[in-house]
Amino acid sequence: MTAATAASTDDETRDLLDLVRAAKEGDERAFEELMIATERRVARLAWRILADADEVKDAVQETFIRLFRNLRRYDESRDFFGWLFRIAVNVCRDRARRQKLRRLFFLPLAHAAQPSFDARLDEAIARRDDAALLTAAIDTLPQKERLAIILREVEELPTDEVAAILGNSAATVRVQVSNGRAKIRRWFEERGVTR
């Protein structure tokens, strides 16, 4: 990280903290700006967990409603995104559980509505679309490893923060990330994709 990007990140964190403080005081405009500043990261995280655009919309909405209701409890000494992601992960886990149940009953309809995983994968390999391939590889991981990889590698949160979000120890998170990376590499190798 260069000095310029570090300074820019510090400024962003300060701005975010100002918005959080104003929102805590009941400033609705500040809360809206806080949403604008964070909604894409929340949506991305929800998308990685839920893989359904409609579910993502609902999850993002629910996350921000919970954020608003619990904002007074936010401890400013902690990373705001870590705290926000903890809410988002809880919301997404709840929704994923319900989604799983729904799929149990409506599986044929869900398959008819979207192209199969294999078809999308073939397309991604043909295009050599790194992001799509990596996304597909991440999606094959078990949920705990998937979340650890998303939070630690994609969102670049500190290991301690990831551990707090997932309710694990930092050592467990390191193991999950390491296993996840190894599985993703193997996945690429099995499909003859080299970078």
Partner 1 sequence: MTLPFRNVRDEVPLHDRDFANIRADVMRRVSRPQRASWGWAVAAVAMLVAVVVLWPRGAEQRQPAPLIRASRTFSPRGGEKAVQVTAVPVVKVVHRPHRKARPHPAVVALAKPSVIELHTSNPDVRIIWIAR
List residues near partner 1 by CB under 8 A: 28, 31-32, 35-36, 39-40, 43-44, 47-48, 53, 56-57, 60-61, 64-65, 68-69, 130-131, 134-135, 138, 149, 153-155, 181, 184-185, 188, 194-195
CA distance 195 to 182: 15
CA distance 14 to 173: 28
Q: Which residues contact 68 (CB under 8 A, 6 or more apart)?
A: 23, 31
Q: Which CB atom, from 116 or from 194, has the smaller least distance to partner 1? A: 194
Q: In the complex, what is the shortest distance from the CB of residue 165 to partner 1, in angstroms, rounded to a whole number?
A: 17
By the 8 A CB rule, do 141 and 185 touch?
no
Q: Which CB atom, from 86 or from 183, has the smaller least distance to partner 1? A: 183
- Among all chains, which residue has been given the structure tokens 């998937």? 146
Q: In the complex, what is the shortest distance from the CB of residue 77 to partner 1, in angstroms, rounded to a whole number?
A: 25
Q: Which CB atom, from 79 or from 153, has the smaller least distance to partner 1? A: 153
Q: Which CB atom, from 20 or from 56, has the smaller least distance to partner 1? A: 56
By the 8 A CB rule, do 85 and 45 touch?
yes
By the 8 A CB rule, do 82 and 165 touch?
yes
Q: In the complex, what is the shortest distance from the CB of residue 95 to partner 1, in angstroms, rounded to a whole number?
A: 14
CA distance 70 to 92: 17
Q: In the complex, what is the shortest distance from the CB of residue 188 to partner 1, in angstroms, rounded to a whole number?
A: 7
